[in-house]
Structure 1
């Protein structure tokens, strides 16, 4: 047997030592080595893996570090000699040197996985690592110890300027090898927070939501199920009362930085104070090497060891070249200057602004003024350049138009330590929040006004004005954090306020309904009565956006009131003609509000009248309006009329757009819903099988549109007897819809109805009862007791009672009430009313009132034959139950022929194995159920 090669001998020896040490994981080895100060180097877990596989031969320093670590834990048998550590290290050094000049292949091993790049493991939007980070070693150790011992969440708290974000940043880079995934989330404002989590959802390969952003709850839920060792960092979070998304998740770790001490009520906190003196001195001498220790100590004492102030004095010294003696004198002057200390901030921070303004060019000074009004999040330099055509004061305007000039201004601010330039992704500028506060308090009123007006002009000029177009959504994501502080909503210039208006529209489009509502409400409040045409239009649009956001949040009465308010406003002001396009849009919203309220005939009248108001040249608006008319027909039970309209719409959308355009695909899905209403379940299933996967592929599995269509699939599966599939899909669909809309939204309640029916068909009476009671109560709370959806659920809940074999009188009471109220609200021939009366007849029959049941079945059948296809399974169910009632009264001869004929017809529609066909052959009563379509 040939002798082992030198590299193999080295690897075999290391593997033996690793085994004697108890086979600790590569991550544990790397982590523990980083915690020790007696070892000469640190080693990543990837390097440890490389050493144990023999893929390459790292430096001796790293080998020695791992050997000494493993030797501390190695166990030997009683009859073995325990080697001295130094002798063991010498042996490994000899083996390592033996590989020096060999060109042999590595020890055979499976192909190594692709190395994980740092940028892949640390994601989100983390600050760059500070290469001159000093101090905080005991805080870093405490932070890591708290997280590694099992605490799911830790908050770093303290005043502004103590370095909470710097500490969190150093932690993630120093300990990145301990986690499979680290994600940095800007948490001061909710939209950037949600957007960051949505991007994480993409990283986790969650089902797409198309152009809409992932629901944050879905991303956090996925992390709960993940096998990854992950860490979320929420930077600069506000009060926990305003950040409900930031809560412990037991399967991972959460690190929060915040100035708010209330985080101690949520989990453990680590209060970060000022530097220890030696840390202040070290930072000063690291940043400015010419500072003598004694002078550094003096500076640190004067600034109170506040890290941001210490760093700024160092920047001051380096940027200006001021001799230390002069700097200390100037610092004393600043400390006693009332203008620098009046605001209560550390004097050197204000003093830095004094010094900066003395030396900055005018362009750099005007650029600095913008930061008094920008948000705390980084601002894209490209965003500022896009606003170069705005009415910005000189010389900033010229600088924005000349890239070298604006770059020079940025360099000046950086040199004075006033801003940080972040390079990835893109070039972004950020000023520390404390500096922004000092700047707002220190600038003169004239300079403050100039900075605000310049920023407003830049954002207005940069606004693309297309919030509905996904191509421009990255722009709106950039703008969002910077529109509040400059109070754009209160600006007199329409184009400035339009930035906020478009932002509200964008937020609604991507699914951030709460933020859209808040922003729209601010616009409505600030608007008031205006004089110009554009101001009047702005008021209407702001109210419209607020109504849409309120409706998406399930605030239906509020949305309806706002829609009417906007229409009334237009009626009061002559600037809006009767054919104004806003009126058409608002009437469409009014019809939607009426549908949600259960007033389907009124909604149809509004949509039909609105069709005449649509501009004949606006083909798309005409198609959308016709779609709404079809929706009304579906709700009114007039499925044949809806089918005719939707068939035309499918052809027209496919003619105008691609066959796989979302509008065309959705029209085909609507057609499947019409087929369901006509009882043509197999055709509906075939159409959905062809269309729904394509639709999901285009808009995303988690897009709200796809989720609502999925409910149609649930309904069709159940009607065709695929009960298990229907239950599984209904459960997932309810969960996903709730993530988007919440528990008390009409879409969530509608899928709740479908889930109840699926559970009942599956014989899961316990869960059917629990779900039925919950959905019934929620429908009554959201819609009211007499709403068609509430009454539909009442019919379905009665079916659950019958299946339980319990209080049949209560089931009868529910069906009687539903039948009466549905007939009154929708008409006696409406499918809902027919279903309720059919089931009431079943109640009567089961209670022994066969004669009354027979009369009820006859009445239902008489209406059904005039308003439903005779092949509709619900119509055939009535024929079967009528035959059973006749048999119960007059014996087999009275109804058996009719029963046989109807059962055969039902079998032709549904198949011999369908549960209803089997029940009919066994002469059991058949029931009907109701599942209202979406509005």
Structure 2
């Protein structure tokens, strides 16, 4: 290339034009970056010649560019069209040969190219490292190869394309037949690059079969050199989405334990901080239900690409880009690469008949290329020339798609019949990622004959999968975390067919085209595979990723119609997992369907019905349906007691659930009577150290707390916690829950520093073991926030109260009992230290929510009405506040009695409002009585008693009984100093004569 030196040796900035196929964009970006660092200007020209223009014209157009033209040679560069080698050789000889001083080239492929490409004298970059590749590029352009000083340039450029990102997981293999979509790819790239930190989210949305997943995969390969982390997530199910995010932690090299929650938290924190990697790309594939997973989409310096049929992602901080069907030129180009034997006209004819739908074009052209059928004959079949009963599909699909599938399945039956068997087997898993390895793990002699040979013969297995992949019926799913650091090239390692990916359209059609015999055989195989994959311990947080993988497939394997006891155990374990992990909506759906199905299948009194009733009631109770669960548990308890007697373990479990329902309904006397009997019965039947006994003790302690008997609750919770730490591991979910209960009792007794110390440590463990968004973790954080508040650390309390409320609203919804509990605390805090308008708005929602959930007469409604009355007082609505507070006091007295701490707290507040409306005598009488009752119930130095004493001093002062007021106040201040300390916020407030108020706190039931 003698003339090239003349171009690059001229003075001033030099210009190099890089001509490349879109497929090789990563190479173009890397070479351009290397040249720009040396002061050259680079012009990028994406090569995309259309069929209706001669190649020579396109090549001559390249000569219009200033400076040398660097061509990146690959088989893709010559496939675009496609055109034959003869046409290429002729054009290269006619245009490049006379102007060889203007052209340079590098080769990034080992595939055979047109013979005339030798005119480029291309530098080979396929087998060298980055340094040598840069030297060869510079040499080919006649540029100096000496290292260029950095001069403070620390920017991160594109990665050398032959290098793999540091972290790479789950990405599908590159589709070497990918066609077009250039504008969409570039628009998505620009949208992500231009987005601010935390806002780099783009959703590719469109109809099924339009190629959204393939587009996202091509984006990864085309722009992946600009990222250090690329992680692909099958996002059609929340549980599997959370699992993949948890699996990212070890891939990032984060120091975590094996617990699911710890890994999930660590992954999201690392992404948000951009540490250890700030250039990350996460792909959420098939995220068709934004409301299920939007809270899992990470924020931070990286980018997120989403594929979905649902455009509602626009409501969740995502830019939307619609993916249409191919335009006709893209369809023709794709078909001609998929089926080279077809002419341009035939490809256009086929594209029109198939309505330019990429998935159908891929499948049809794939087998049509192997067939001797003409396009006209095929189109005639599409018009109704084939028996339409071959494939029975829904009206959701166009007629062309239905008939096309009939033809394709017939082709598969004729060539590789076992591929049809494998295809049908896959449809008893959920669409999307299908873990067929679970089937391969089963003993071959337990399988039906048609699957036995397939599973037991790796050659036949691979042949069947390859044929399905050839016709684009399935694709290989991405690799797992163990391979992310050593994956090389496009194909990746891993056993053939460990996990396959099946499109929803394909899944639906194949499932409907199923002989009855195959249906019966294959569904039993998948059920047994799921049973074998069940770890058997849903309470172990370390096993939650395995449950996250198998739970979504229960529906498709129709497990609820099975009479196999092992399948029943699988269902119950998955239901238990959904409850413990906080997936309440999914758990309620599974429990409801299981209850209906099993009663029809097994009868109303089958032992499995009692198991199911217990677990189903747990998830219903978690969302506040106490009346519904009470009906379920009472029926179960009465039936079991009548059949088996009061000492039967199944009856005792049902009775324990009934006691929990009664606590939720505010019927504490009944709950206490049952809970006490259960503890005695369990101690007699299984001993004091059995987990069932300890669970019963925990529930009795909860009931004691609801009664206001905090000392008794504390003593029982202390003994339960000590036993659980011995019996179970300290990080077990039950042990951690017991810590919340014990710390809560400490706080309610005014032992704030002890409570804060224990709860702070427990919150750290909760976040690690169970994850930040688990409902139990949120409970622990809420109690810690209240500990901070009572200790006077208002800033820390404010931050944590806001955080847990936002998290709970996001995870569980605005009307969940836990959300309302947190909202009540947030409202009280805002009333005193924040925005009174915000406090009022939240309080109104809380009161309305409890009225709807629990009805009149419930203590939670009375308590939150009392809270709301204080807000009305603060905004000047004194008369209304007084009436509402007196109603709350009356209702609370009727619900829990006059000596209950909640009633005493309402009385303190009511006395203040009596003073405001001109009834100081009534106020003083009320606080005087409250002191007596509080001292008897809680003791002289309990914080609530001290508040009553300070309030009474204020009431005496209002009556001008100064001597008694001074004496009462002085004694109370002395006790406050002795109990809480001279500088505690309550002591300081009392010394400043700020009248105390009491906030009702809806408790855990």
TM-score by length of 2: 0.74
> How far apart are 1:606 and its partner, in Å?
1.6
> How far apart are 1:640 and its partner, in Å?
0.8
For 2:385, which of 308, 311, 336 is the aligned residue? 336
> How far apart are 1:650 and its partner, in Å?
3.1
2:263 and 2:768 in contact (8 A); partners too:
no
Q: Does 1:792 align with 2:848?
A: no
Gaps (5+ residues) in structure 2?
1-7, 47-63, 71-100, 105-134, 394-398, 481-493
CA distance 1:522–1:387, shift in 2 (3 Å): farther
CA distance 1:315–1:498, shift in 2 (3 Å): farther
Q: Does 1:543 align with 2:613?
A: yes
For 2:963, which of 893, 897, 900 is the aligned residue? 893
Gaps (5+ residues) in structure 1?
1-9, 19-28, 58-62, 70-82
Residue 781 of structure 2 corresponds to which residue in structure 1?
Answer: 710
1:520 and 1:546 in contact (8 A); partners too:
yes
Residue 852 of structure 1 corresponds to which residue in structure 2?
Answer: 922
Cα separation, 1, equivalents of 2:657 and 2:612: 14
Cα separation, 1, equivalents of 2:23 and 2:608: 67
CA distance 1:623–1:442, shift in 2 (3 Å): closer
Cα separation, 2, equivalents of 1:651 and 1:924: 41
> How far apart are 1:865 and its partner, in Å?
1.9
Cα separation, 2, equivalents of 1:486 and 1:564: 32
Residue 273 of structure 1 corresponds to which residue in structure 2?
Answer: 325
For 2:173, which of 109, 125, 128 is the aligned residue? 128
For 2:657, which of 586, 589, 593 is the aligned residue? 589
Residue 367 of structure 2 corresponds to which residue in structure 1?
Answer: 316
Q: Does 1:609 align with 2:677?
A: yes
* CA deviation profile, 1:880-919 (whole Å, cap 9, x unmatched): 3334444444543334233222212212323334444344
For 1:819, which of 889, 896, 916 is the aligned residue? 889
1:182 and 1:232 in contact (8 A); partners too:
yes
2:367 and 2:408 in contact (8 A); partners too:
yes
* CA deviation profile, 1:164-199 (whole Å, cap 9, x unmatched): 433343344334568898765545555445655777
Cα separation, 2, equivalents of 1:178 and 1:328: 46
For 1:347, which of 403, 408, 418 is the aligned residue? 403
Residue 430 of structure 1 corresponds to which residue in structure 2?
Answer: 501
For 1:450, which of 508, 521, 536 is the aligned residue? 521
1:863-902 to 2 correspondences below 5 Å: 863-889=933-959, 891-902=961-972
Q: Does 1:173 align with 2:225?
A: no
For 1:86, which of 36, 42, 67 is the aligned residue? 67
Cα separation, 2, equivalents of 1:521 and 1:488: 14
> How far apart are 1:149 and its partner, in Å?
9.4
Cα separation, 1, equivalents of 2:984 and 2:340: 85
> How far apart are 1:831 and its partner, in Å?
0.9
SS of the aligned residue for 2:67 comes to: helix
Cα separation, 2, equivalents of 1:689 and 1:40: 53
CA distance 1:606–1:413, shift in 2 (3 Å): same
SS of the aligned residue for 1:378 comes to: strand
1:884 and 1:925 in contact (8 A); partners too:
yes
Residue 421 of structure 1 corresponds to which residue in structure 2?
Answer: 476
* CA deviation profile, 1:373-423 (whole Å, cap 9, x unmatched): 333212123211233378431141354356555445434544565433335
CA distance 1:356–1:638, shift in 2 (3 Å): same
> How far apart are 1:100 and its partner, in Å?
7.2
Residue 774 of structure 1 corresponds to which residue in structure 2?
Answer: 845
SS of the aligned residue for 1:430 comes to: strand
* CA deviation profile, 1:709-745 (whole Å, cap 9, x unmatched): 2222222333333333322322222222333332222
CA distance 1:457–1:893, shift in 2 (3 Å): closer
Residue 373 of structure 1 corresponds to which residue in structure 2?
Answer: 428
Q: Which moved more, 1:488-497 or 1:174-183?
A: 174-183
Residue 356 of structure 1 corresponds to which residue in structure 2?
Answer: 412
For 2:726, which of 655, 676, 696 is the aligned residue? 655
SS of the aligned residue for 2:174 comes to: coil
Cα separation, 1, equivalents of 2:274 and 2:880: 43
> How far apart are 1:676 and its partner, in Å?
1.9
Cα separation, 2, equivalents of 1:400 and 1:725: 58
CA distance 1:171–1:685, shift in 2 (3 Å): closer
2:205 and 2:311 in contact (8 A); partners too:
no
1:174-193 to 2 correspondences below 5 Å: 174-176=222-224, 184-189=232-237, 191-192=239-240
2:172 and 2:478 in contact (8 A); partners too:
no
1:155 and 1:263 in contact (8 A); partners too:
no
2:247 and 2:264 in contact (8 A); partners too:
no
Cα separation, 2, equivalents of 1:531 and 1:38: 60
SS of the aligned residue for 1:273 comes to: coil
CA distance 1:777–1:626, shift in 2 (3 Å): same
Cα separation, 1, equivalents of 2:648 and 2:155: 66
Q: Which moved more, 1:535-544 or 1:309-318?
A: 309-318
Cα separation, 1, equivalents of 2:735 and 2:341: 71
SS of the aligned residue for 2:803 comes to: helix
1:207-226 to 2 correspondences below 5 Å: 211=260
SS of the aligned residue for 2:686 comes to: coil
CA distance 1:122–1:904, shift in 2 (3 Å): same
Q: In angstroms, what is the RMSD of aligned CA positions?
A: 5.0
Cα separation, 1, equivalents of 2:315 and 2:831: 44
Cα separation, 1, equivalents of 2:502 and 2:660: 46
